[in-house]
Amino acid sequence: MVASEYNPRWVDGLVESVKAELAVLAPDAEIALYRVPGAFEIPVVVQEVALRGGVEAVIALGVIIQGATAHADLVGRSVTDALQTIALKTRTPVIHEVLLVENEAQAEKRTTGEGLNRGTEAARAAVRVLETVRALRR
């Protein structure tokens, strides 16, 4: 996992949800966590992790809250485009859960609790895409 340090309350919720779900779905998985200052820094570390070798998937986690300017949209688009490019160039699945939300209430709803938890969904997506990729590479 590569996770932002910014908005720690919600990003930490994502990280813990990923860990908990992977403990159930893939108990033998080796999980490493790399922290970066903010969402904009996530792609460069995702790329380094993907290029290391021996890494089957990377989960990118962050929370960007919309403000009064277009900054959040610009960061969100940049991160999204970069993560997709990294996944395709390195042939490493990258699960994108760098959330762009309108407010703290949306962040809370998507990162904590059991309802719409994007960390749980990220873990499930990682396991599922790895099953598909492994089958295709056999």
Q: What is the DSSP string of 8-70?
A: HHHHHHHHHHHHHHHHHH-TT-----EEESSGGGHHHHHHHHHHTSS---EEEEEEEE--SSS
Q: What is the largest CA-CA distance in the chain?
A: 49
Which of 5, 31, 70, 71 is an active site residue? 71
**Strands 34-36 and 2-4: what pairing?**
parallel
Q: What tokens appear for 67 in the block?
A: 């403000």
| Catalytic (active site) residue 71 | yes
What are the residue numbers of the active site?
71
